[in-house]
């Protein structure tokens, strides 16, 4: 797991660098969402990648970004996703 997370950390660092360097009007990495509305912070939280969570938060990712969970008719944030998977390190 440590080796796997180190790979994710390197990718997040590189993507943050590239999107922050990009002068276009496209949203930065930490503001982009998937088609379901999930952010990179949510994905890192859900997977328990604490160092990636820290980097994204430091870059300005919104911890209060909310998506609708259609399965249980509730709203979810990155904190909910980390807690649902019992990823204490990402909390």
Integer Cα distance of 43 and 29 in angstroms:
12
Give the Cα-Cα-Cα angle 37, 59, 35 (nearest 5 degrees): 15
Identify the top-confidence range among 5-9, 43-47, 65-69.
43-47
The reported pLDDT for the residue numbered 27 is: 60
Considering only residues 68 and 87, tell me which one the structure prediction assigns the higher pLDDT.
68
pTM exceeds 0.85 = no
87: which residues sit within 8 A by CB, 6+ positions away?
45, 46, 47, 48, 50
The reported pLDDT for the residue numbered 3 is: 45
Summarised one tens digit per residue, pLDDT across range 25-62 is 666 666 788 888 889 899 899 888 889 899 899 888 89
φ, ψ of residue 40 to 5 degrees: the values are -60, -35
The reported pLDDT for the residue numbered 1 is: 40
First-residue to last-residue Cα distance in the chain: 18
């Amino acid at each position: 797991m440590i080796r796997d997370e180190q790979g994710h950390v390197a990718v997040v660092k590189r993507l943050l660098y590239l999107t922050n360097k990009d002068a276009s009007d496209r949203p930065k990495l930490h503001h982009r969402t998937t088609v379901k509305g999930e952010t990179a912070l949510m994905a890192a939280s859900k997977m328990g990648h604490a160092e990636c969570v820290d980097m994204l938060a430091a870059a300005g990712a919104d911890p209060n970004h909310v998506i609708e969970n259609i399965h249980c008719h509730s709203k979810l944030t990155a904190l909910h996703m980390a807690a649902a998977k019992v990823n204490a390190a990402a909390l």
